[in-house]
Structure 1
Amino acid sequence: MYLGLLAALFLGLHNLCKKHAVRENAVLPVLLGTLCSGFALLLPFYIGSVYFPESTKELGFYITEIPWNVHGFIIIKAAIMATSWILAYEALKHLPITIVTPIRSAGPFFTFIGALLIYQEQPNSLQWLGFFVIIFSVILYSKIGKREGIIFKRNKWILAIVIATFLGASSGLYDKFLVQSLVLNPQTLQFWFCWYTILILLTILLITWFPKAEKRKTFTFRWSIIAVGVLLQTADYFYFKALQDPEALIMLLSAIKRSQFIIAVVLGGILFKEKNKRKKLVPLTGILIGVFLILYS
């Protein structure tokens, strides 16, 4: 649970930097830049694992050798998350962070269903109540969003963020399989996942973005692009570390990570001067109550 809360802290800061990075900027190159900065953070551990294995093992960041079939499983995760991120970044560019972030809070609900059906995780009555409070709060956010001219049924970016959330939840369920069933340590999974996701995005950009001069002019490099990559890899490390515990329940970890909304909604609303901040605190409180019920259970 402590590792999950640490992951939530870095994810909240990551969301703020991500909003700054994509604001009035080209989304795909921003996403590629964040992945490259995260990869640069992990690359010394890979080099150390090859040339200085004993020292890297002592540090606890040794990247193990894995068979080709395991690489195939990681490529599947890379494809899922590349699609999720592209949709999420595009939505974040066109919607207020105080609308996008709470919709992402539906992720634990999808994870919850998957945990029931795939891993047979057994929720109790408080956990059931907590998840339904979270979903109700997300619906309440949609009502507030209409006052900002965002009609959820007609806005394609709302659909994009919903699909991104579903894919992200699917990836979360898949993480438990990768970490517990395939026994991948966090840094090994992070390094190869980052590498394959970069290859996927680079292929897309080579076809759709790099050949077009007018599109290249829409990209502006910002310091927040590097910060997003570093913060995401730090959050993922704590999250995968938590998943290594055989008693860890993916649905609880997924819910604990939602506490990142305190940073994203409160600080994000202030920094980006978005509307209806006080009214958004009502459903935010509902989400936090839902998370508390799951933790308390």
Structure 2
Amino acid sequence: MWMVFGISAGALLGLYDFWTKKAMTGNSVIPIVFWSAFFGGLVWLPAFFPIAQTFDLYVDLSKTSLHEQAIILIKGLAMTLSWIFAYYAVRELPMSFSGAVRSSGPLWTLVGGSLVFGEDLSALQMSAVLISVLAYYFLSQIGRDEGIRLLRSGPMFFMLAATILSAMTTVYDKYIVQQLGLPIYTIQAYSAEHRLFLALIFFVCVAVRDRALPFLQWSLYVPLVGFSWVGAEIIYFLAIADPDANVTYLSIFRRTSLVIGFLLSVLLLGERNVGRKFLIILAIVLSTVLLVLS
């Protein structure tokens, strides 16, 4: 089931990527980061009230130590910084290219998983991972035909930074859940509110710098960004809560978000070089299937 949850989270993240692209139209990064964190925090706010006991989701503030809060806060900080980097890159790049940079995510997660949890891959499984990573790499090479140079593109480097932070968070999530034994809903609820607090700090800093509230061009996509992230996170935590879950595999499964995002980009945003990109994304899908079967 953890594999099913991982793939489902990836599919929902594909919608999240598309809605982020739409929400960023005409907007700067910090307002979207703040409002997406706001709606995400809003979803989890009822968990701190006794009524949540009805659904076994009550988070008792008195039963979480400052040490545990600090551990969860590290996760929230890494995620907030990852959002800032990623949102800027998504705004500036076609969705296929921002997804291509994320291809390095399994590599960083593989390194983290091997160092922290001692996870090893068989030759067949390693081949599946390499096929996926190479497919993303060749997809990024198409960028040369569209005027995007990997080594000269600031948005590409921002997406790489976001990818590394996300990979670190993937490994850290498993550590929190399995080593510290904190309830999943407690981690999610606190992390959502921490992200809101951190995003508010960035929002206020920008407002003080500009001496005006950051401009926001409102659309339905703004709350959808926050809600979809929370939904994907819930499904994802159900996956990593399984003791048999492998964070390297989960990182691959989350890359199915590229498939969903690419299809939506082709249909609704006029993605270029569709034929060549389709073949590469097909290789990504096949590598994921190979990994599951192996």
Assess same fold via TM > 0.5: yes
Matched positions, count: 290
Percent of matched pairs sharing the same residue: 27
Deviation per CA, 1:89-138, whole angstroms, max 9, x where unpaired? 00111111111112213211211121112100121111110111122112
Amino acid at match of 1:241: L
Note the C-alpha offset of 1:213: 5.4
1:62 maps onto 2:58 in alignment: yes
1:147 and 1:119 mapped to 2: Cα distance? 41
Aligned to 1:52: 51
Note the C-alpha offset of 1:53: 5.6
Superposed counterparts of 1:83-94, under 5 Å: 83-94=81-92
Aligned to 1:225: 222
Aligned to 2:232: 235
1:54 and 1:94 mapped to 2: Cα distance? 44
Matched residue SS, 1:183: coil
Amino acid at match of 1:106: S
Aligned to 1:153: 151
Aligned to 1:33: 35
Matched residue SS, 2:255: helix
Greater shift in the superposed pair: 281-290 or 124-133: 281-290
Note the C-alpha offset of 1:52: 3.4
2:48 and 2:106 mapped to 1: Cα distance? 32
Q: Normalising to structure 2: TM-score of the pair?
A: 0.93
1:223 and 1:54 mapped to 2: Cα distance? 31
Match of 1:271 among 268, 273, 276: 268
Aligned to 1:21: 23
Alignment check: 8 A CA contact 2:253 2:288 kept = yes
2:213 and 2:94 mapped to 1: Cα distance? 24
Amino acid at match of 1:74: I
Aligned to 2:162: 164
Note the C-alpha offset of 1:211: 4.8
Match of 1:128 among 119, 126, 132: 126
Match of 1:197 among 172, 195, 198: 195
Note the C-alpha offset of 1:240: 0.5
Alignment check: 8 A CA contact 1:210 1:216 kept = no
Aligned to 1:10: 12
Superposed counterparts of 1:68-87, under 5 Å: 68-87=66-85
Matched residue SS, 1:80: helix
Alignment check: 8 A CA contact 2:100 2:136 kept = yes
Amino acid at match of 2:37: L
2:183 and 2:12 mapped to 1: Cα distance? 20
Alignment check: 8 A CA contact 2:100 2:140 kept = no
The Cα RMSD (Å) is: 1.6
Alignment check: 8 A CA contact 2:170 2:247 kept = yes
Alignment check: 8 A CA contact 1:32 1:201 kept = yes
Note the C-alpha offset of 1:142: 2.1
Moved over 6 A (4+): none
Q: Which residues of structure 1 form unaligned runs of 5+?
A: none
Alignment check: 8 A CA contact 2:109 2:247 kept = yes
CA separation of 1:161 and 1:54: change in aligned 2, threshold 3 A? closer
Superposed counterparts of 1:207-226, under 5 Å: 207-209=205-207, 211-212=209-210, 216-217=214-215, 219-226=216-223
1:249 maps onto 2:246 in alignment: yes
Note the C-alpha offset of 1:208: 2.1
1:34 and 1:54 mapped to 2: Cα distance? 26
1:9 and 1:294 mapped to 2: Cα distance? 17
Alignment check: 8 A CA contact 2:143 2:149 kept = yes
Q: Which residues of structure 2 form unaligned runs of 5+?
A: none
Greater shift in the superposed pair: 171-180 or 268-277: 268-277
